Amino acid sequence: MPWSIVPAAGFYWLLARMFDTMAQRRLWPLPANLDIQPCDTADFAGYVIACLNDGPRGVRSDFGGPEIRSVVEFARQYQAVRDIRRRILPLHMPARMLRAAGRQTCQDGRRGATTWSEWLGRTRPARVG
């Protein structure tokens, strides 16, 4: 049976949801040495459609966003766009925890076009609580 697997990095809306739930906290402890490459779901959907049109090809290239940054850097951008001023506490994750987290980037894979700042600018923060 013909098949394709189309892997993707995390999505912006998941990252935003995590930050939305932290918005009222005075201190944000976050991993400073964990690089991630989240992407826009609309960009990924376009890639999935292209893969469907191309036919079954087995495992496809990974898909991620256009930016690879630490979780702390994404949090700082989130705070700037959402006009939130909270202290971010950068934590150094031990190597074993980084290994357990798995690969969070796809440097050689396909990349979406929408940046985190662009996505944040066109979305509203979720209501928390």
Taking CA atoms, 34 is separated from 68, 83, 95, 101, in Å, by 10, 24, 10, 9
Tell me: the pLDDT tens digits for 91-119? Answer: 999 999 999 998 899 989 999 999 999 99
129: pLDDT strictly greater than 70: no
Give the Cα separation of 117 and 95 in Å (integer).
29
With cut-offs at 50, 70 and 90, classify the pLDDT of residue 56: confident
Share of the chain above pLDDT 90, in %: 84
Q: DSSP secondary structure string, 33-45? A: S-EE--B-HHHHH
Taking CA atoms, 127 is separated from 19, 33, 42, 75, in Å, by 12, 29, 22, 18
pTM of the model: 0.89
Supply 30's token pair: 């976050």
15: pLDDT strictly greater than 70: yes
Q: Are 121 and 81 in contact (CB under 8 A)?
A: yes
